[in-house]
Structure 1
Amino acid sequence: MTEIILTQYPGRFIGPVAKLIGYIMNALYTFLDSAFGVQNIALCIILFTVIIYILMFPLTYKQQKFSRLSQEMSPEINAIREKYKNKKDQVSIQKMNEETQMVYEKYGVSTMGSCVQLLINFPILLAMYQVIRNIPAYVSSVKDIYTPLVEKIMGVSGYQDTMTEFLKESGVGLVKLNFESGTTTVNSIIDVLYALPGQGWELLKDSFAGLTDIISSTEASVIHMNNFFGINIANSPMNLIKSGWGDKNFLLIFAALLIPLISYGSQVLNIKLMPNASTGAAGGDNDAMARQMKTMNTVMPLFSLFMVFSVPVGLGIYWISGSVIRCIQQLVLNRYMKNLDLEVIIEKNKEKVKKKKEKQGIYESQIANAARMNTRKISEPVSTAEKESKIREREEYSRSARKGSLLEKANMVKEFNERNNK
């Protein structure tokens, strides 16, 4: 990648994640091409998904262990909630929280244990959407397929007006041509070409009649690159259904419908395989969490069903691949967790908590010692008897003052004031 692709998503957080995914996808594309002679973005997406979920497997394992331990500790948590059920004062609430935290520490469970994977998955999904909707902007090997054609187009006299008119006729939405500079123009035209529907290539041949051969070869390369069982992954299922209906291509319509339906089915299966932490009947936060999880388990598959209809098929492939891999991982983990010795894990967690408490005790002792050292110079409290003794010493010293000294004169002034006050 020798230049900045101006069509990349500019977001401060998702932008860099999308760029990193682009580098990985480009490496996968280059590997498949050099090792097997395969140039296919769909395979790159599937391989990328496998790599991501293998890397996240330790988090998945921790999440499953969290769920299994939550089931085991649930009776203790519910007993604590029942104990403080009718106590709403601040002290009781604080004690309940402390006792609850002690149970969490005993089982080695973090309250954030089930959220980490979602916090990682969601940004990747958003970034993946940006990459798939404009592959050439992130995968330089794909951009290279379009570059020779774009250079030929830019060599045609008056190509700016021709491309502007072509954009109106091709039916490409949400893409704007930009002719500010050479690099910007190349990127802008590639954006248009990548978003072309099937009939758009024929219109391009009509607009640039002298470039028919290179347009045809580029179209063939793009179709091969984006093809997944006869579906163009750059298009959305909705657009494919419309195109198939217009051409009476019912096989294309069926294939386009399969993508969101498989996405929905794989999500439902994934949820069915997931172990659900028991929440008991004590009420409170656990019941609220159970309701939220139930709602999410209903909404997420429906969300994937409707979302995959309107986004590029490539994102649906990523979504389905992730669900299938999670199902496989879940089957393995369910079998492993079934034979897991929780008593051993709990004992290990107790040892960890004990060592942690010991370290905290040492640290607190060090703070106390430091505090005592820093306060040595502060005067100790003086008793009443010591104060009276010091006053008498000062009075005796005053009476023993030499004649003519300042101390004698000060005593004379003091006596004069005392007689007048009387």
Structure 2
Amino acid sequence: MDTMLWPLKVVVAWVMVYIHKALTFIGMPDGPGVAWVLSIIGLTMVVRLLIMPLFVKQIRASRGMQLMQPELQALQAKYKDKKDPASRQKMQEETMALYAKHGTNPFSSCLPLLVQMPVFFALFRVLASLEAVAQGTYANHDSIGPLTAQLAADVQASSVFGAPLSASFMNSDDMTTKVVTVVMIIIMSATQWYTMAQLSMKNMPESAKNSDNPMMRSQRMMMTIMPIFFAFTGVQFQIGVLVYWVTTNLWTMGQQFFTIRNMPAPGSEAEKKHRARVNARRAAKGLPTLEEEEAAQRAAELAEQAGQRRQRVQPVRKDRQKRKAGSAVPTAPEEQREDEVGGVVEGFTADEEAAIEEIETNIVGLTPEEIARRRYEKRARQRQQRKNSSKKRRR
């Protein structure tokens, strides 16, 4: 394993050593001490910055998975009783098409964790090799990159609350080390649970929280399994590795808090709180709320669509009307009204009439009496236009 991880171990050692040099350059004490603990924290921050694009991809994939859940459940219900190979194949194809439509896949949310695992194991092996490097008995190497025997001895002598960085619960008889290990495992498990909880509960639409949702079931299962896994395996990790993992969990927790607060998933509890905060800021500036602005935009779109429908057409001669009437291609209802009236088209569908009434009531602010009067005047103009058109045809 050391042979496979050797290039990564050199990189980990290089980052730790040069962060330590930077810390001593700004005035922290050289040799064993807190600077080496901070170098492991610095290593964590470097790794997290490098995988930032993967975190953004993870958030987008998680959001896409949440938004596609209603469609995925409908697809599963569609093929629920179809067990033949053709139906299974068709369901698989439609599922993949659904993933492509929402720009996500089931494995994107695991990418940051998977990328960190090699670094995690490399740090584990670097800390495990400190004693051999310090004594000059480390395999065929005198050092791990820039981590020389003297520096390895300094790291080995550094501690967190009295627990050496290279010590673990299982290989130490020191009670201080055991207590510090247990406390850090508890912190590590709690932060791991919270990061998963805030992603699946606060940033998930209510429609996706159904217990029948496979994604919701898997999230709840992971929220239970992962802390238990770390609790049982953490006793094997050195204090330095636990420092790394607690730091990365705290980083993830803060990163997710910022993302959920400012870029929540549509329909989630976090989005409601986000809109409330934005509306409060807009109200303080004298601006309309987000809902009012969106309603105004919808009103403008409906008004534009209505304007496109109101178009003047030329009167149609009777011989052309007869030819159109005898044509094999049926005439659309709107075209029929234009032929009969020969003037301005004023007809709307029932949905459009309802939308216009909603705009006049909620956006323009007209009373029911004013709406009724405007509607009466419009119909009077239509009747007058029909009379004028009939007179022209008789002439």
* Residue 275, structure 1, aligned to residue 200, structure 2: yes
* Residue 103, structure 1, aligned to residue 98, structure 2: yes
Question: How has the CA–CA distance of structure 1 residues 256 and 125 changed in structure 2, closer, same or farther, with 3 Å as cutoff?
Answer: closer
Match runs of 1:23-34 below 5 Å: 23-34=14-25
CA contact (8 A) 1:45 1:317 kept: yes
CA contact (8 A) 2:168 2:177 kept: no
Task: Give, in whole Å, the separation in 2 of the partners of 1:233 and 1:25.
Answer: 13
* Residue 118, structure 1, aligned to residue 49, structure 2: no
CA contact (8 A) 1:71 1:279 kept: no
Question: How has the CA–CA distance of structure 1 residues 16 and 268 changed in structure 2, closer, same or farther, with 3 Å as cutoff?
Answer: same
Task: Give, in whole Å, the separation in 2 of the partners of 1:94 and 1:33.
Answer: 61
Task: Give, in whole Å, the separation in 1 of the partners of 2:65 and 2:229.
Answer: 28
Task: Give, in whole Å, the separation in 2 of the partners of 1:299 and 1:279.
Answer: 19
CA contact (8 A) 2:156 2:166 kept: no
Higher relative contact order (CA 8 A, sep 6+): 1
Which of 53, 56, 64 matches 2:59?
Answer: 64
Task: Give, in whole Å, the separation in 1 of the partners of 2:160 and 2:210.
Answer: 47
CA contact (8 A) 1:68 1:337 kept: no
* Residue 9, structure 1, aligned to residue 26, structure 2: no
CA contact (8 A) 2:185 2:230 kept: yes
Q: How many residue pairs get matched?
A: 257
Q: Deviations over 1:170-205 (max 9, x none)?
A: xxxxxxx68xxxx95967xxx9xx9xxxxxxxxxxx
CA contact (8 A) 1:73 1:107 kept: yes
* Residue 296, structure 1, aligned to residue 222, structure 2: yes
CA contact (8 A) 1:263 1:319 kept: yes
Q: Deviations over 1:4-29 (max 9, x none)?
A: xxxx9212xx3322222122222212
TM-score between the two structures when normalised by the length of structure 2: 0.55
Residue 315 of structure 1: how far off its partner (Å): 0.6
Structure with max Cα Rg: 1
Match of 2:185 in 1: 260
Counterpart amino acid of 1:232? Answer: P
Q: Deviations over 1:338-362 (max 9, x none)?
A: 27699xxxxxxxxxxxxxxxxxxxx
Counterpart amino acid of 2:89? Answer: Q
Match of 1:206 in 2: none
**Local SS of the residue matching 1:36:** coil
Task: Give, in whole Å, the separation in 1 of the partners of 2:182 and 2:98.
Answer: 49
Question: How has the CA–CA distance of structure 1 residues 68 and 339 changed in structure 2, closer, same or farther, with 3 Å as cutoff?
Answer: closer
Match runs of 1:186-335 below 5 Å: 222=154, 226-240=158-172, 242-244=173-175, 254-275=179-200, 278=208, 287=214, 291-335=217-261
Match of 1:83 in 2: 78
CA contact (8 A) 1:61 1:333 kept: no
CA contact (8 A) 2:156 2:165 kept: no
Counterpart amino acid of 1:264? Answer: S
Question: How has the CA–CA distance of structure 1 residues 134 and 97 changed in structure 2, closer, same or farther, with 3 Å as cutoff?
Answer: same
Question: How has the CA–CA distance of structure 1 residues 271 and 29 changed in structure 2, closer, same or farther, with 3 Å as cutoff?
Answer: same
Question: How has the CA–CA distance of structure 1 residues 83 and 33 changed in structure 2, closer, same or farther, with 3 Å as cutoff?
Answer: same
Task: Give, in whole Å, the separation in 2 of the partners of 1:253 and 1:90.
Answer: 55
Match of 1:369 in 2: none
CA contact (8 A) 2:13 2:126 kept: yes
Task: Give, in whole Å, the separation in 2 of the partners of 1:262 and 1:305.
Answer: 10
Task: Give, in whole Å, the separation in 2 of the partners of 1:234 and 1:295.
Answer: 33
**Local SS of the residue matching 1:101:** helix
CA RMSD in angstroms, aligned pairs only: 3.7
Residue 94 of structure 1: how far off its partner (Å): 3.1
Task: Give, in whole Å, the separation in 1 of the partners of 2:66 and 2:237.
Answer: 38
Task: Give, in whole Å, the separation in 2 of the partners of 1:185 and 1:112.
Answer: 38
Residue 271 of structure 1: how far off its partner (Å): 2.4
**Local SS of the residue matching 1:114:** helix
Residue 76 of structure 1: how far off its partner (Å): 0.9
TM-score between the two structures when normalised by the length of structure 1: 0.52
Counterpart amino acid of 2:13? Answer: G
Question: How has the CA–CA distance of structure 1 residues 85 and 24 changed in structure 2, closer, same or farther, with 3 Å as cutoff?
Answer: same
Q: Deviations over 1:97-146 (max 9, x none)?
A: 33323322222223432232232122222122112222477xxxxx6xx5
Task: Give, in whole Å, the separation in 1 of the partners of 2:118 and 2:186.
Answer: 24
